[in-house]
């Protein structure tokens, strides 16, 4: 029997990037806000100390900061006619857990999507005709434009102190930046990071091939910064432990460094950690959320009533909680009905390893950060003519030097034995003279009718609820796209002077066991039409207007960029709509 707690104005489910941003905005509005977080409290100096965080075994291999599958997992299959099995060890992605969420362990690559990404179906149809798109591709426009989002991208970047070189300032193309980016209203808050040898050589080779390389926009800062909340960040020391790790050096933007010290001292904010929300409650009509039910570590159930519910968990858990709460219609790929779980996507990542003469090249790969590198954007989105190539979508590509951590960084040229003295010699010979792009090719993943999320018919979690089932495979469009991108990228690695260029194409079937990225998207997509979206352009649920769902679950398809910049911008955008419109009149902000 759930014990009922006093009512709050707002309950926030999950205190990661979007939950922290929304909590800070709504407490500024004077509302009484409680956040409920499944994982533990985490703070930068006490949980990510600089003197033991650099532990690859603990954090990378043993997944210290991530959800334990024992607490919650998913089932997986490639095709709709297969039987899905539970994931018992994380592989292709890492579900975050705990305060700060994915903002703790990200690489801090802080991109904006292209203007055409937000209107992708309209744009591609106009340029290439409707028949150019595969029949089962379900991409759609977002319901917002880049112009809508620009002030909110700016807000997120200035919260983080993002380091970068502007490529388009108010329509004026800038030297040294990304000439393909949408116009930005002001420069990055801090300058682009100084680049080590590998990325510098990559940029030189790219320039000679006619491309326009630029520093990757980075939440690992090039210099000390004070954000608009008065919080200070230091400059990155290039220790090379970003992804999978927390930063106790105060140089990586995270909720811990950019929002939480302000939020947790507000008297109208409270947090319950180690408490898992199992249901969003609705009234008898099903059109109004009344609060949430959560379970603590003693398995006591609690009901937290609230006027406004913000669902801001990791994308997958957003979908799952709507399915378990029976809010909005679940997607059925056969009937082609329903919306929750529809347009589930990931990312199409590949890499090219370049092996160089170790007598001439020492890349000193230990100088690293999650987003220190040079990139090109010539082949992203629709920045080039796809007509001759028979696919849509694109990728940024770059030489991003993310680290030389010893367990994973044992690249050897093709043909080397897998073990023994020769393998050891090859590791030794190549350790410092190999270009292992931390990013490589970072490609889009468009949405399809048969890539989706629903509830598994067989497997259940610790509360006897069905696990969520992932049905996901790579389609020909993405395979073609990746082959094209990987070849283009390999040309640049070759031009850098590599002796051996080892292309690692992304191939079907979709592999759940090896890491790509944690960029799982969609399932609660935003849009202009309630028949093809779960939330409106303000991330407000069509059916339950006092429920907003934040995060990458809103992406109708994934662009060829890391998602966090857009996730952060959408959180500020939704917060702005709640503050300026919803609170004055708590009703649907868009009438379908």
Residue 176: other Cβ atoms inside 10 A: 14
Q: How many helices (H) and strands (E) does the chain have?
A: 13, 25
Whole-angstrom distance, CA of residue 337 vs CA of residue 502 = 44
Q: What are phi and psi of 110, to 5 degrees?
A: -115, 85
Q: Which is nearer to other proteins, 43 or 301 (CB)?
A: 43
DSSP string, 242-277: -TTS--TTS-B--HHHHTHHHHTT-TTEEEE-S-EE
- Nearest distance from residue 557's CB to other proteins, in Å? 38
| Options 62, 68, 232, 425; binder of other proteins; rule CB under 8 A | 232
500 in contact with other proteins (CB under 8 A): no
Whole-number minimum distance, CB 235 to other proteins, in Å? 7
- Which range touches other proteins (CB under 8 A), out of 180-188, 227-235, 382-390, 502-510? 227-235
Which is nearer to other proteins, 80 or 226 (by Cβ)? 226
Q: Which is nearer to other proteins, 250 or 317 (CB)?
A: 250
- In the complex with other proteins, which residue's Cβ is closer, 230 or 388? 230
Among residues 138 and 249, whose Cβ is nearest to other proteins? 249
Minimal distance, residue 249 CB to other proteins, in Å: 6
Instruction: Using CB under 8 A, pick the residue from 69, 179, 191, 234 that binds other proteins.
Output: 234
CA distance 299 to 281: 18
104 binding other proteins? (CB under 8 A) = no
Q: Could you tell me which of 508, 535, 573 has the C-alpha nearest to residue 113?
A: 573
Q: Which residues in 84-103 are b (16+ Cβ under 10 Å) and which e? A: bebbeebebbbbbbbbbbbb
Which among 187-195, 223-231, 471-479, 541-549 is the span making contact with other proteins, rule CB under 8 A?
Answer: 223-231
Q: Which of 105, 324, 386, 519 is catalytic?
A: 519
Exactly one of 4, 30, 40, 52 binds other proteins (CB under 8 A); which one?
52
* Shorter beta-carbon distance to other proteins: residue 229 or 592: 229
Sign of CA dihedral 189, 194, 199, 205: positive
**Binding region for other proteins (CB under 8 A) out of 66-74, 228-236, 382-390, 488-496:** 228-236
Rule CB under 8 A: say whether 457 interacts with other proteins: no
User: Of all helices (H) and strands (E), which one includes residue 480?
Assistant: helix 476-495
Report 31-50 residues binding other proteins (CB under 8 A): 43-46, 49-50
- DSSP line for 446-470: --BTT-EEEEEEEEE-TTSPEEEEE
Residue from the set 111, 241, 244, 250 that interacts with other proteins by CB under 8 A: 250
Active site residue 324: no
Residue 56 phi, psi dihedral angles, 5° rounding: -65, -35
Q: Which of 69, 86, 191, 261 binds other proteins (CB under 8 A)?
A: 261
Q: Which helix (H) or strand (E) holds 232?
A: strand 232-233
Distance of alpha carbon 386 from alpha carbon 389, whole angstroms:
5
Instruction: Kindly give, in sequence order, each residue whose CB lies less than 8 Å from that of residue 558, ignoring residues fewer than 6 positions away.
Output: 345, 346, 347, 444, 445, 446, 519, 521, 522, 552
Toward other proteins, which CB reaches closer, 52 or 463? 52
Residue with tokens 């801001």: 312
CB of 230 to other proteins, least distance (A): 5
The token duo for 222 is 């090039």
Between 225 and 302, CB nearer to other proteins? 225
Q: Which of 353, 398, 400 is nearest to 196 (CA)?
A: 400
Of 72-80, 244-252, 417-425, 536-544, the window that binds other proteins (rule: CB under 8 A) is 244-252
How many residues sit close enough to other proteins to count as binding (CB under 8 A)? Answer: 24
Question: CB-wise, 254 or 471, nearer to other proteins?
Answer: 254
Token pair recorded at residue 462 = 């610790």
Q: Given candidates 169, 262, 455, 590, which one binds other proteins under the rule CB under 8 A? A: 262
Indicate which single residue of 6, 171, 210, 230 sits in contact with other proteins (rule: CB under 8 A): 230
Check residue 224 for interaction with other proteins (CB under 8 A). yes
What binding mask, one character per residue, do residues 263-282 give for other proteins by CB under 8 A, x or -? --x-----------------
Among 1, 3, 51, 171, binds other proteins (CB under 8 A): 51
Among 22, 99, 139, 231, binds other proteins (CB under 8 A): 231
What is the DSSP secondary structure assignment for residue 554, as one 8-state letter?
A: G
The region of 136-144, 234-242, 281-289, 508-516 touching other proteins under the rule CB under 8 A is: 234-242
Q: φ and ψ at 569, to 5 degrees?
A: -65, -40
Contact call for residues 258 and 160 (beta carbons, < 8 A): yes
Residues that bind other proteins (CB under 8 A): 43-46, 49-52, 224, 229-235, 237, 239, 248-250, 261-262, 265
Residues with active-site annotation: 519
């Amino acid at each position: 029997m759930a014990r009922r707690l006093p009512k709050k104005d707002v309950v926030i489910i999950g205190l990661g990037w979007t939950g922290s941003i929304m909590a800070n905005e709504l407490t500024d509005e004077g509302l009484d806000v409680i956040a409920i977080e499944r994982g533990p409290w985490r703070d930068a100096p006490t949980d990510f100390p600089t003197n033991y965080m650099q532990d690859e075994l603990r954090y990378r291999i043993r997944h210290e900061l991530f959800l334990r599958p024992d607490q919650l997992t998913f089932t997986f299959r490639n095709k709709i006619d297969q039987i899905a099995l539970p994931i018992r060890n994380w592989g292709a992605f890492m579900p975050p857990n705990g305060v700060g969420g994915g903002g703790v362990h990200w690489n801090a690559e802080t991109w904006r999507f292209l203007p055409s990404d937000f209107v992708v179906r309209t744009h591609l149809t106009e340029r290439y005709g409707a028949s150019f798109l595969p029949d089962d591709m379900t991409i759609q426009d977002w319901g917002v434009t880049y112009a809508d989002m620009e002030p909110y991208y700016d807000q997120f970047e200035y919260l983080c102190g993002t380091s970068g070189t502007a490529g388009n300032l108010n329509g004026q193309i800038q030297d040294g930046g990304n000439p393909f980016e949408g116009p930005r209203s002001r420069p990055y808050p801090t300058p682009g990071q100084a680049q080590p040898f590998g990325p510098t050589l990559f940029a030189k080779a790219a320039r000679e091939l006619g491309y326009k390389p630029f520093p990757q926009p980075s939440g690992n800062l090039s210099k000390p910064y004070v954000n608009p909340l008065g919080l200070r960040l230091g400059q990155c020391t290039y220790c090379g432990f970003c992804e999978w790790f927390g930063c106790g050096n105060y140089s990586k933007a995270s909720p811990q460094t950019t929002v939480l010290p302000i939020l947790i001292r507000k008297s109208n904010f409270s947090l319950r950690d180690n408490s898992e929300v199992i249901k969003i409650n609705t009234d008898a009509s099903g059109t109004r959320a009344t609060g949430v039910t959560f379970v603590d570590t003693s398995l006591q159930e609690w009901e937290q009533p609230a006027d406004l519910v913000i669902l801001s968990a990791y994308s997958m858990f957003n979908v799952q909680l709507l399915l378990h709460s029976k809010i909005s219609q679940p997607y059925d790929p056969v009937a082609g009905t329903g919306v929750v779980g529809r347009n589930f996507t990931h990312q199409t990542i590949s890499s090219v390893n370049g092996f160089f003469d170790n007598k001439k090249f020492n890349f000193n790969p230990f100088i690293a950060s999650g987003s220190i590198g040079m990139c090109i954007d010539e082949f992203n989105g629709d920045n080039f003519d796809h007509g001759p190539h028979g696919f849509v979508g694109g990728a940024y590509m770059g030489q991003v030097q993310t680290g030389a951590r010893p367990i994973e960084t044992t690249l050897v040229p093709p043909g080397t034995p897998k073990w023994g003295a020769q393998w050891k010699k090859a590791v030794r010979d190549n350790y410092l003279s190999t270009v292992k792009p931390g990013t490589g090719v970072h490609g889009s993943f468009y949405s399809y009718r048969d890539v989706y999320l629903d509830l598994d018919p067989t497997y259940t979690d610790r509360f006897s609820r069905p696990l969520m089932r992932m049905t996901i495979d790579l389609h020909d469009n993405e395979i073609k796209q990746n082959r094209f991108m990987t070849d283009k990228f390999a040309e640049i690695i070759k031009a850098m002077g590599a002796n051996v260029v080892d292309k690692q194409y992304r191939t079907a079937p979709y592999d759940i066991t090896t890491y790509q990225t944690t960029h799982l998207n969609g399932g609660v997509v935003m849009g202009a039409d309630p028949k093809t979206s779960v939330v409106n352009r303000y991330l407000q649920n069509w059916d339950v207007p006092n429920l907003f769902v934040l995060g990458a679950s809103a992406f109708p398809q994934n662009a060829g960029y890391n998602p966090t910049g857009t996730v952060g911008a959408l959180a500020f955008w939704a917060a702005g709509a709640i503050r300026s419109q919803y609170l004055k009149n708590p009703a649907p902000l868009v009438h379908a």
